[in-house]
Chain A
């Protein structure tokens, strides 16, 4: 479906692992192409429940979370993750369609560490992902 992501960003350090959680197929593929080009390993989930499941199943360095999703929205997912000892520490960035300050506050209250608004510029996404994961160099 997609190319095998680079396993190693450098010989010294394995690639940082990012889980992209968004119900839009073009959106997921876009984040994947941008982040893989920057050396991240990317996995995808299509809604909040699946994102929660995948975050539990494997360790990630960063979650990129859409807000409006079926089954479980981004806020609800983040609140659930922040209560779960197994995964509560993983950094998360929410990406919303609304440039509403109240929405940004809700995202941070739900447990997001950073907040972006769609459509996200590729450079900004890469920069934020680097900032939140401390890599790849």
Chain B
């Protein structure tokens, strides 16, 4: 750490060469599954220099060696935190909701008894934009919605954010991608630019406080058809990620799907799932295991 009492600040670390940038990107991708394009160099570099300054590293080489060999993985975690923007709004990464109603759900109901409900789980659900987007997508964009009982479960580890999700009040920024006709049909204007989602919709979603890392808590979910688990696994270390992915696998029905964030990929985590392409997005399917 830089000592604030020192009168002379050390010089800022020199900028990264292309080779250093490439080396960092490959390592970061291998560890986290997060991929940066070449045009992100400025963005990545600024944040790297910030971390280098904070840790008192004089050059990229020293800093990289520290991150690469740190057993606790603490600095890698700090990097993930600075490199990722954790924002949520309605219909974020909408192509995945399109893939849900056009690809995954039609496939899941093929040959299914109408008495068997479809079970969807949003985890972490944060302030609720994701589970409500799932609900709106199903009601407005899936022509078979009325033929099925559909359960939407939404969980988060943070009780305050979960209370916000249940309250269902959203500001203009969060609602910017919600079509006007949805706003009129499913929301109540509160007058100050914010809207509250209608009671019917709020009450149709089952919110619960769950720490997905705790297998006993997670195990209460079972036979789930689709899990939305976006931008969560990047925050775990290697073993924690393995275990959490295995938990998701256990919770899904055979043939069920996991949807990850757009910069994430299962390919850095596990071979348990089969990638499937629906429209423009790749999702991950639990195979029907043949051998017992």
Contacts and interface: CB of A to CB of B under 8 A. Distances in A.
B9 interface: no
A53 B275 contact: yes
Give the size category of B's interface with A. 20 to 34
Contacts of B268: 47, 50, 71
B23 to A, nearest CB: 9
A46 interface: yes
A57 B267 contact: no
Interface in A69-110: 71-72, 76, 80, 84, 86
Instruction: Classify chain A's interface size.
Output: 10 to 19
A39 interface: no
The residue in B38, B267, B268, B269 that gathers the most chain A C-beta atoms within 10 A of its C-beta is B267
Interface in A36-50: 45-50
B265 A50 contact: yes
A52 interface: yes
B274 A80 contact: yes
A45 B29 CA distance: 11
B22 interface: yes
What's the dominant secondary structure at chain A's contact region?
Answer: helix
A53 B282 contact: yes
Contact of A46 (B30, B269, B270, B282): B30
Nearest to B25: A1
Interface string B246-274: 00000000000000000001111111001
Contacts of B275: 49, 52-53, 56
B26 interface: yes
A137 interface: no
A52 B265 CA distance: 12
B177 interface: no
Nearest to B30: A46
A47 B38 CA distance: 21
11 contacts: A1-B18, A1-B25, A47-B267, A48-B271, A49-B271, A50-B268, A53-B282, A56-B276, A71-B269, A71-B271, A76-B271
